[in-house]
Amino acid sequence: MNDLFRRFALWSTLILALPTLANAQGSTAADSKPKFVIRFSHVVENDTPKGIAALEFKRLVEQRTKGRVQVQVYPNSTLYKDKEELEALQLGAVEMLAPSLAKFGQLGIREFEVFDLPYIFPNRTALRVVTNGPIGRSLLSPLEERGIKGLAFWDNGFKVMSSNYPLRLPEDLKGRRMRIQPSRVIETQMETLGAIPIPLPFSDVYAALETGLVDGTENPPSNLYSQNMHHVQKYVAVTNHGFLGYAVIVNKKYWDNLPGDIRIILENCLQDATRKNTQEADRLNAAALAAVKKSRKTQVVDLTEEERSQWRQALEPVYRKVESRIDKSLIASIRRAVQTTQAQTQ
Ligand code: LMR
């Protein structure tokens, strides 16, 4: 009897609850089903300047559109690797990316490689004056012919050199096989140092270092540390010789078909996510470098001013060597903008 009663009670509770459940399900499905989904693919870890900014963008967009737009972030090459992701964006298989500027040469856009020139920016403030101003805007516009809309620039600060051979001065890279991003300027930079440049996708770098396919590489500390490259690199020289920047891009057709009010919200969210990227990059890189030092797996070599000027001098010929590739007037206008910023801050 007791058992029968319990069964009856259970069934009646379920039957009474059914309309409510259906309503709840129905209304949740109707209200919370995103109308627009943005798949945002990238190749680095979440806990990096780019990863954090992508997650901030997702958080803000979903909050401010009240779920009308969902942003699915796929970090660490889980969806696509370097070159694949650019193709996927053009085909509409993902909506949003933030590839490094060194990777746009593959699309036939050489101008972005200007950012790879050694020591072109003395600090990140000067860099932002360039990326946030007319030069930045004019660099993004040629993307449109390739079905891509450039929305913003993010960055990851400055790169260090790493190797499995003792490393302090430029000549220490002679004959070393160095993994690079597919940028002709970076290729020239490595050749100028007497190294052998080997372009590889970011997702393959750890294995390439581990197996000895390459001896070394370059990246900001946050990328080095978050990919555990310090486990497979014996030396890191804090050269800060080059800058690693990103262009945040969307599939143009997708973007143009979004309702205007949504586009405005997305642009505002991106501005705020960009601010987050700007604020977090220095902190994350400093923390990563400290963690690499603490791990004692890699010897971190801090350079003296004199040693740094040796790197600067050794890399100066890169500018002349890439003259046929990078418009001289673009380099000159970046230098003018940098000088103006420096004069203003003195
Ligand atoms: C690299 O390929 O070395 C980096 O550009 C990866 C990234 O996107 O930061």
Ligand 1 site, residue 100, Cβ cutoff 6 A: yes
pLDDT digits (tens, 9 = 90+) for 114-133: 999 999 999 999 999 999 99
pLDDT digits (tens, 9 = 90+) for 23-71: 333 334 445 578 999 999 999 999 999 999 999 999 999 999 999 999 9
Best probe residue, ligand 1, of 156, 161, 217, 243 (max atoms within 8 Å of C-beta): 156
Residues 264 and 169 in one domain: no
Q: Where are the alpha helices (DSSP H) in 33-123?
A: 49-64, 82-91
Pair 156, 289: CB distance under 8 Å: no
Query: Relative to the CA of 223, which ligand 1 atom is closest?
Result: 9
Q: What is the number of structural domains in the chain?
A: 2
pLDDT digits (tens, 9 = 90+) for 178-192: 999 999 999 999 999
**C-alpha of residue 31 to centroid of ligand 1, in Å:** 38
For 117, list phi and psi in degrees, rounded to 5: -65, 135
The closest alpha carbon to 204, from 184, 186, 179, belongs to 179
Ligand 1 site, residue 41, Cβ cutoff 6 A: no
Residues 83 and 220 in one domain: no
Domain limits at 171? 160-242+287-345
pLDDT value at residue 343: 79
Please state, in angstroms and rounded to a whole number, the distance separating the CA atoms of residues 26 and 220.
48
Question: Model-level pTM?
Answer: 0.89
Identify whether 1 is part of a domain. Answer: no
Please name the residue whose Cα sits nearest to atom 3 of ligand 1.
Answer: 202
Q: Which of 261, 285, 309 is the last residue of a domain?
A: 285
CA distances from 71 to 36, 62, 65 (A): 9, 7, 11
pLDDT digits (tens, 9 = 90+) for 82-112: 989 999 999 999 999 999 999 999 999 999 9
Indicate which CATH number applies to the domain containing 184: 3.40.190.170
Per the rule left: phi > 0, alpha: psi between -120 and 50, beta: everything else, 169 is beta
Best probe residue, ligand 1, of 41, 42, 44 (max atoms within 8 Å of C-beta): 44
Residues 207 and 313 in one domain: yes
The closest alpha carbon to 155, from 314, 279, 286, belongs to 279
Query: Relative to the CA of 82, which ligand 1 atom is closest?
Result: 2
Query: Relative to the CA of 50, which ligand 1 atom is closest?
Result: 9
The closest alpha carbon to 236, from 148, 171, 307, 164, belongs to 164
